[in-house]
Amino acid sequence: MFLSSYVNGVDKKGRVSVPAAFRSELATHSRAQVVVYAAPDDKYLYAWGYDDFLQFAEKIKKMPAMSPQRQRLARTLLAAARPLGFDDNGRIMLPENFIKHADISGKAIFAGQGDYFTIWQPENYEAKQEADLEHYEDDLAALSGLWEELGG
């Protein structure tokens, strides 16, 4: 499970250390890779462990062969995703287009989201957090609703 968040440096080669805690989580997968793709709706990146992303992909592959919906999902998720391997020091190399998409320069924040994590330009992340606060009460209420439904 990906928990808590970490800020790491991005060097001029585009390399960045994935937090050790996340790395050991990723190591449990059949390939020690992280699959990254640009969030279609905002300036950040999604990052999944290999096996979890594969499950995602399998669902898409099970959709009707050439249906428009399947094709759209394949474009936004499969074609946009990149499996990134680690160098000996636990770094990945963020491709140019990802760095651009997320406005990253110098530093990046890795934010655990449970079964995946996201990568942001730190200032953008802080702004997003601030905005989240306004929904906090409502979101919490929704959560407790769910809680009761599930008999928790």
**Residue ranges binding DNA (CB under 7 A):** 6, 8-9, 11-20, 23-24, 85, 87-91, 93, 95-96
Partner touching 19 among its own copies, DNA, none, CB below 5 to 8 Å by kind? DNA
Nearer to DNA, 18 or 77 (CB): 18
| Residue ranges of E strands in 67-150 | 82-85, 91-93, 107-112, 116-120
How far apart are the C-alpha atoms of 13 and 73, rounded to whole Å? 31
Q: How far apart are CA 35 and CA 33, in angstroms?
A: 6
Q: Which of its own copies, DNA, none does residue 121 bind (CB under 5 to 8 Å by kind)?
A: none
Cα separation, 19 vs 23, in Å, equals 6
What is d(CA 99, CA 87) in angstroms, rounded to the nearest whole number?
Answer: 18
Question: Whole-number minimum distance, CB 92 to DNA, in Å?
Answer: 8
Quick note: the x/- pattern for its own copies over 12-51, rule CB under 8 A, is -----------------------x----xx----------
